[in-house]
A and B are shown apart, each in its own frame.
Chain A
């Protein structure tokens, strides 16, 4: 409850600062509804699109993301599969090779490890190996990362794993606008797309523009969004960590530090242009993710900024805030401490800003 309020406060702060929205947001849309409506639109628009996965049809979706779609489109377009990830992921890839446009749901991305051979070897690499003869217009989607109390085997974040592979596009939306626009873009994309949702935001309602409801509203893949402009430090995050970053930015604002929060939206391709432009403005960077630190998204951003002229714009090293490098524990307190919290981000920012933090505070008073 408190969390929802905090998010709404953060979003309204976003609205107040955002330069991209002209009209006031007319309505609220949950991420679940955003995904559902995106699937509905795309199923209606293109005959070749179909959904398959466990419990997507008659159960209305394990997380109710595909609610109502089986009733509307029937057995041919919304297919319940047995619990055989390797098999049905392979079938989905084969159908995509043959010209259909499947949306393959993994109940959670943890189960994708059973099918990872098909995602990488059968889907991602085929266009290249066939010298452009066979493309695989498939979307793999499902909830990724930590949920609540589901422990180690059900809480892993796969952003870094899939973003490692050329041939894939990896998307990690945060709010409803992201979810709807990016899922539509992913389904329309002729390449294999890994769509990493987050279970914890499914039920969260975000204010959306009217244009989001348009049947052809798409968010371009590979472009990050500045959720909250700022001038003192840049926070780059994806998925749930965007929420943490926005909350941390609100906290920092009280201290007189204006943090710019970037919602990556796409992990592969990574929108380094937006990140670098922001760093040129703020000269400080902290990356935030819920996944493990080693070889993670933050590590990639650090490496890229070092390889670019923007490195010389930095006044301090880039810092990563990531999930603790342990398998996810079950107990509530342990779990809470295994992921970056608002206080962790605030501390990291203050550390990166160093003495400047005090100066910024003084300047803003």
Chain B
């Protein structure tokens, strides 16, 4: 185990070479795990927090102190000050941030080449927020965000090919070209929402569903500094607190709501305090380790104490969207300074090296490899064919009871349903886990199907008994009621066991 204690002054890092030679360490020795210490500054918070940084000395592990990472509001204890960082985690996070950065850059390039149309909101500079948070979210947690969603979509399990495909409007897009940049979904990821602030009550509703089902999940609800003044955000705070919803409100404060600086838009720009009766935590959103630590804290808090508001202080290098150059309301120097001083990727890179988790060559190789990979995936996506015309009138309703869809002139478009099949695999989302109940005339068809299934189950049981295996498991576990023509009975007992999950049902495994 590599050993080094490093005291870092505010804003500076030891040059790795210096202390390595001091301690006589070879560059080949890399620790598998290091400890990172966060320091919280107590200024301007309700409870003055002034935690001294802890020095890890026992095993002389390499240690790093980050300054000004947290500010607490109405919280007895902040996030853990001592965190461990394993090499695998560090490299995973670093890779993810690189991938996101490269992907967004390519998306920007494609937009300029007019391959991507409409809205395109890029995440350059904010990578640490998504990557750091996802590290501490579990598979049962849900996420909903606004339109700057490509990074989140990727981290929530959608491949880059599908995301780029969606941006390009090709058939391999994750929403088959029907949604575009702002409407991408995945298992437990509810987009991608175009209306500023609308995702906040939606997210509180998702948290309500978690609480309703008691599935131990939390809902992470992201919004920006521009959306933070929306009335519906405060309505959501109120109901989340009233009903103790497991909801983590996260304000990604990149200091600009489109072209308006926070000081011109918000009478009070301490967004972590805006929850008023909800505890809040300000986090340096450019430090992926701080974000990660805060998320762990927030998840625990949401599960045990109710909602919490996080404010991730971050910065975006690009404009609000591709139609905004991003320089008319701020100086290039400001952007440049942000890139140099607080870029999440380069600072994490230095931290990795400083902590001896990887060395320069390895990281360089990783960067090259990642760049090549992302480039090739996106290039491949750009060669896919555009979504077909019949998708125009596909999947407007989950259950279409209308006849045809009206065309430009006349009612002659068939409503097509593709929703069960997507890329050859059935697409599963929480909403369609349990079969929907047929309505009207379809009831008879469904009953006939059920009786048939019953008969087959009976037959299978008899076969199994014959073989001495015992009763087969299955959804048709209800005792066969017989073929009596009593419609009322058979319809009333429409396999309740299959249709209605008990509240304590375990969350489904993620799609991929």
Contacts and interface: CB of A to CB of B under 8 A. Distances in A.
B440 A219 contact: yes
A87 B234 CA distance: 8
B488 A167 contact: no
A214 to B, nearest CB: 6
Q: Give the interface centre of A48, A221, A223 by most chain B CB atoms within 10 Å.
A: A48
- Interface size bracket, B side: 35 or more
Nearest to B505: A47
Interface string B226-245: 00000110011011001100
Interface in A191-240: 191, 214-216, 218-223
B466 to A, nearest CB: 36
A269 B403 contact: yes
Majority secondary structure, B binding face: loop
A167 B209 contact: no
B396 interface: yes
B231 A127 contact: no
Interface string A113-138: 00001100110000111111111110
A98 interface: yes
B239 A100 contact: no
Nearest to A83: B235
B188 to A, nearest CB: 8
Interface in B23-74: none
A82 B179 contact: no
A84 interface: yes
B175 A129 contact: yes
B163 to A, nearest CB: 14
Interface stretch (B268-276, B323-331, B428-436): B428-436
A132 B235 CA distance: 29
A131 B198 contact: no
B191 interface: yes
A86 B200 CA distance: 11
B427 A91 contact: no
B144 interface: yes
Contacts of B405: 166
B208 A94 contact: yes
Interface stretch (B100-108, B357-365, B496-504): B496-504
Contacts of A96: 205, 431
A131 B205 contact: no
Interface in A78-97: 79, 81-82, 84, 86-97
B139 interface: no
Given A87-B236, A128-B178, A215-B492, A221 B206 contact: no
A82 B183 contact: no
Interface in B426-459: 427, 429-434, 436-437, 439-441, 443
Contact of B206 (A81, A97, A169): A97
B124 interface: no
Contacts of A221: 401, 439-440
B123 interface: no
Given A95-B206, A129-B178, A191-B398, A135 B427 contact: no
B388 to A, nearest CB: 12
Contacts, number: 224
Nearest to A49: B500
Contact of A127 (B209, B242, B398, B443): B398
B113 interface: no
Interface stretch (B258-266, B301-309, B416-424, B476-484): B416-424
A189 interface: yes
B194 interface: yes
Given A96-B431, A98-B431, A218-B443, A90 B204 contact: yes
Contacts of B439: 185, 188-189, 218, 220-221
A127 B410 contact: no
A50 interface: yes
A307 B408 CA distance: 12
A67 to B, nearest CB: 23
B409 to A, nearest CB: 8
Contacts of A92: 205
Contacts of A135: 398, 419, 429, 431-432
A325 interface: no
A28 B427 CA distance: 46
B36 to A, nearest CB: 34
Contacts of B432: 135, 190
Contact of B239 (A82, A93, A136): A82
A264 to B, nearest CB: 14
A133 B429 contact: yes
A189 B194 CA distance: 26
A328 to B, nearest CB: 27
Nearest to B211: A76
Contact of A93 (B202, B213, B500): B202
A82 B401 contact: no
A100 B209 contact: yes
A131 B208 contact: no
B19 interface: no
Contacts of A89: 201
A293 interface: no
A46 B236 contact: no
A259 B383 CA distance: 62
A326 to B, nearest CB: 31
A149 interface: no
A93 B333 CA distance: 43
A355 B207 CA distance: 65
A99 interface: yes
A90 B201 contact: yes
B175 A218 contact: no
Given A86-B201, A89-B201, A135-B432, A98 B398 contact: no
Interface in B490-512: 491-492, 494, 496, 499-503
Nearest to A308: B411
Contact of B231 (A48, A86, A128): A86
Contact of B500 (A46, A82, A84, A167): A46
A191 B437 CA distance: 12
Interface string A265-303: 000110001000000000000000000000000000000
Contact of A48 (B210, B394, B427, B500): B500
B194 A121 contact: yes
A131 B440 contact: no
A273 B403 CA distance: 10
B198 A90 contact: yes
A93 B492 contact: no
Contacts of B190: 94, 97-98, 134
A217 to B, nearest CB: 9
16 contacts: A47-B500, A82-B235, A84-B239, A86-B231, A89-B201, A94-B205, A117-B195, A127-B419, A130-B183, A132-B422, A133-B175, A134-B185, A134-B190, A135-B398, A220-B401, A269-B402
Closest 8 CB pairs of A and B: A94-B205, A90-B201, A87-B235, A220-B440, A132-B419, A98-B209, A269-B402, A94-B202
Interface of B: 142, 144, 174-179, 183, 185-186, 190-191, 193-195, 198, 200-210, 212-213, 231-232, 235-236, 238-239, 242-243, 391, 394-399, 401-403, 405, 410-411, 417-420, 422, 427, 429-434, 436-437, 439-441, 443, 488, 491-492, 494, 496, 499-503
